[in-house]
Amino acid sequence: MMDLKNMTDGAMALHHNGAVETGIPYPARLDAILGADLCAEAQTAISAWRGYAPTPLHRLDDLADQLGVGAIYYKDEGPRFGLGSFKALGGAYAVLKLLARELRDPGGARLSEGRIAKGLHADQASAVTVVTATDGNHGRSVAWGARMFGAACRIYMHAGVSPGRAKAVEALGAKVVWVDGNYDASVRQAAQDAADNGWHIVSDTSYPGYMDLPRHVMAGYSVMVAEVIDQMPRDAAPTHVFLQGGVGGLAGAVTAALWHHYGAARPRVIVVEPDRAPCLYRSAVEGRPVAVEIVEETIMAGLSCGEVSLLAWDILAAGADDFMTVSDSWIAPLMRGLANPTSDRPVVAGESAVAGLAGLAAASQSAATARTLGLDRSSRILVIGTEGATDPAIYEAIVGRPPQEIAA
C-alpha cells in the first residue's frame, strides 16, 4: 500500500479545456500534423529494428483499489530497446528519416530507408552530423540512432542534467556539449551551432520553421499506443489516460493515436506537468502557446520544459480534456510504492515515469476533482510509464534499493 497521506495541500491545479472537441472523429486539420498513415509507417519501420519487442502493460490492482478506480494499466517503457525509455521510439526514428532525406547514391537517387536502417550505408551517413538538446532520454535515443545508422552525433545538455545521464549518451559514441542555463537554453545553443556548422537538428520539440522531424518523433511514439491496443482486454478500453506533459510530444502523439483508433469514443485525456514547469497548463489557461520561466528544477527531469512544441499543442488544444500540475512531493512515494507493492508486480519507474500516476493520485485524493474528471470504480485508467531507472544512482537514492534488485 502506498503512503499518499498528507500530500494534497497545494499539490495540484486543474484546468478543464473548454475548447476540446468531443464526440467527433479525428479532425481533418490535425491529420496533416500526425495522420494515421504516418503512425502506421513508423510502426512498420520500428517493429523491423533489431531488438524490437512490445514493452509490458502491467495492471496495478493494489493502487487501483487504493485510489478508488476500476483498473490501472501501466505501460512500462523501461525495457524499450535497452535504452530505458519511450524516447527510443522517437529520436532514433527521426534520425532515420533525416538520413533517408539527405543521403543519395552516385546517381543522385535517394537511398533505401530499409538499407539505411540496417546500417548498410554507414559510410555515407558518417558525413552527416546530428545534434539535439536533451534532459537525457531524447539525446540517448538520437545518439543510439546515430550509432545504429552511422551518423556523427553531438548532444547538448544543460547544467541540471545528471552526470549519469550524460555518461549513458557518451557510451553510445556521442559528444556531450554542456550549456549554462536550463533546457530551453540548450535548445537554442544546439540550434545556433547547427546553423553555424551545417549540422542537422533532431529535436523532439517543434517551433516556427522546424516541423518535419518532430512530426516523425511523435509518429515513433505512436508505436506505444498500437501495442497498448493489442495488450488491453478487447472489451475494456481505457476511459481515462493521464499523460506526462514536457513539451507535449508524448501527450500529443498518444492523444492522436488514441483518436485514430477509438474515434469519438476515445478516452478522456488529462495532461500532467510539474508545477515547476507548467508550460502546457499555462498555455491551456491562456488559450495559446505560452512560455514559462523555470526558476527551480523539478525532480521530474524529463519534464523540465518551459516552451511547448507547436505541433503537439495544436493536437492537445483540440483533443486534451484537462491539464493538471502536480508537485514533486508525489514522485518519491509513487516510485517507492511501485517498487514495493503489496501484491502487484514490482515496477522500476523513473522520476518522470510516474507523473501520470501522480496526476491520478492527486485527483483521487480530492472528491470534487474525482467527480469533475469522472473517476469512480468503473474507470479504467491508462498511464505511460515513460522511463525506468535512466540514472540508477538517482533511482537508488530515492527508492532505497538498486533498480536491478527490484527488476530481478
What is the bridge-based pairing of β-strands 71-76 and 57-59?
antiparallel
Distance, in Å, from the CA atom of 346 to the CA atom of 40, rounded to the nearest integer, reads 32
Catalytic residue among 75, 76, 87, 97: 87
Distance, in Å, from the CA atom of 194 to the CA atom of 188, rounded to the nearest integer, reads 10
Let me know if 135 is a catalytic residue: yes
Residue 296: HSE in the Cβ half-sphere, 13 Å Cα cutoff:
7
Residue keyed to cell 493536437: 315
Distance, in Å, from the CA atom of 38 to the CA atom of 257, rounded to the nearest integer, reads 10
H-run or E-run covering 15? strand 12-16
Distance, in Å, from the CA atom of 95 to the CA atom of 91, rounded to the nearest integer, reads 6
Let me know if 97 is a catalytic residue: no
Closest by CA position to 313, among listed 346, 275, 352, 286:
286
Catalytic residue among 76, 97, 135, 204: 135
The answer to whether 155 and 177 are in contact (CB under 8 A) is yes
H-run or E-run covering 153? strand 152-158
The answer to whether 381 and 239 are in contact (CB under 8 A) is yes
Residues with catalytic function: 87, 135
